[in-house]
Each structure stands twice: as C-alpha cells, then as structure tokens.
Amino acid sequence: MSGSEKILARGRKLHDEGQYLLASEIVNKLVQAEPENEAAKDLLADIFEQVGYQQENPGLRNSFLAAAFELRSGIPQGKTADSSSPDVIRAMSTELFLNFLGIRMDSRKAEGLSFTMNLITPDNGEKFSIELSNATLTNIQGFLADDPDLTLTINRSDLEQTMIGAKTLEAQIADGTAKVDGDAGILKQLAATMVDFDPRFEIMPGTKGRTEVAHAQPYKAAPRKTIAE
C-alpha cells in the first residue's frame, strides 16, 4: 500500500465513512508492523472504540474497548483481584485443581519429562491417575495406574492447605500428613514447571510484554498478585 502514511490516510477515510471493520483490517496490520507508530495506534483506538460501541455482545464490546484503552494509555495498573479465599478453594474440585496445574505448567520447561502418578484422597474416596507426557499434564478421575512412578496419598482436607498456600506439600510429606510411595522427586520436577502468568498481558503490540515467573509455592491454587511497580 506504499507505506504507512497512505495506510493512515486510507484508514482515516474509512473511519470517517463509518466503515470501521474495513478500517480496522488495514490499520491493525500497520500497528502490528510498527508497534511504536503512535498515530497508527491512536487511529486504531478510535476505530476499535466505534466497533465496540456497536456491539450487542458484552464480551466483544469489552474486548474492543479494552484494546482501545490499551492503545492509548497502556495496560491498566494497580492491584488485581484475588479469588483464592478458603471458601473458593474448598468449593474447587480436585479434578479442577489438577486441570489448573496443567494450565499453569510451562510446556517448555516440561520438555523431555515423563511420569505417571496416582493421587489418592482417602477422606472423600477420590482417586486420580495423573500423567505428564509430551509436555502436557493430564488426569483421569476414578482410575489408578497399574505401575505408577509415584503414589501420593493425602486427605483432601489436607490438600486444601497446600492449595491455599497455608502449608507446602513438602512440609506435609515431612510431617507424615501426606504419604508417598515411589519417586518423590517427581513432585519437585512438576513444581519446577509451574509459573505465574501476569494477568496484565498485552492485547495489542507495543504496550507491554507478557511475563511469567516461578512461584514460591507452585501448588497453590491461585497465587496472590502484588501491586505492579
């Protein structure tokens, strides 16, 4: 299209004509190519704002308006919501907690790792077969592997103490609250793959890069966030 100035001129014309989706197609590509182009970011914010205003779906509306805000002002700062209250953790099923660990696992750190683990929670009669393979953590409720690398037995009520960050899994093993049979080093391997993702990840380029950091208590269900610097 012969350079950014012509793209901007065409984008402004489409915006003024009310052809916001067409305008977003070309100006968005310019912002992707030149994330430091403030004129392009301001124009795209204007376009996204108009597209957002016209949405009946609140999810789409909020996405466009959040992108517009971010293009103009950067990512919102301040303290993020913490949903890890004890009541919330108690309401979380064990299966949901294991799925949550699978989401928090950085697959790049899990490359080359492979194990099968059984989890038994006697107080509520649950059992799970957990497998790490192909950098993916999966679980099956109601089944136990025949020849696991590790079997972890811990009451669900005690597991909740780890889930809320009140007591580490290592401490529960050390005092006998949790029992292990097999290679306990698997738990440390799994813990090393867990990361906390910054909820203030960028929607649009040129605002802020996504970050991820290791957490002191990797099996905590919903780590608390601190005020951004």
pLDDT tens, residue by residue, 211-220: 444 455 666 7
Class of 4-73 in CATH: mainly alpha
Note the pLDDT of residue 16.
96
List, for residues 33-62, the tens digit of each pLDDT value: 999 899 999 999 999 999 999 999 999 999
Taking alpha carbons only, the member of 9, 40, 13 closest to residue 27 is 40
Across 13-27, 105-119, 124-138, 187-201, least confident range: 187-201
Q: What percent of the chain has pLDDT over 70?
A: 86
Note the pLDDT of residue 213.
47
Note the pLDDT of residue 174.
94
Per-residue pLDDT averaged across 113-119, rounded? Answer: 97
**Sheet with strand 136-141: strands edge to edge:** 136-141, 126-133, 115-121, 150-153, 179-182
Note the pLDDT of residue 67.
93
Note the pLDDT of residue 224.
42
User: Rounded to 5 degrees, what are φ and ψ at 131?
Assistant: -135, 135
Note the pLDDT of residue 89.
78
List, for residues 141-162, the tens digit of each pLDDT value: 999 999 999 999 999 999 999 9
Cβ-contact 71, 45 below 8 angstroms: yes
Where in the chain are all domains bearing CATH 3.30.1050.10? 86-192
Position 223 pLDDT exceeds 50? no
Note the pLDDT of residue 108.
93
Note the pLDDT of residue 84.
60
* CATH numeric code, 86-192: 3.30.1050.10
Position 198 pLDDT exceeds 90? no
Residues 6+ apart with CB under 8 A from 36: 206
Position 5 pLDDT exceeds 70? yes
On the CB side of 74, how many CA atoms lie within 13 Å of its CA? 5
Note the pLDDT of residue 195.
87
Note the pLDDT of residue 114.
96
Where in the chain are all domains bearing CATH 1.25.40.880? 4-73
Note the pLDDT of residue 165.
83
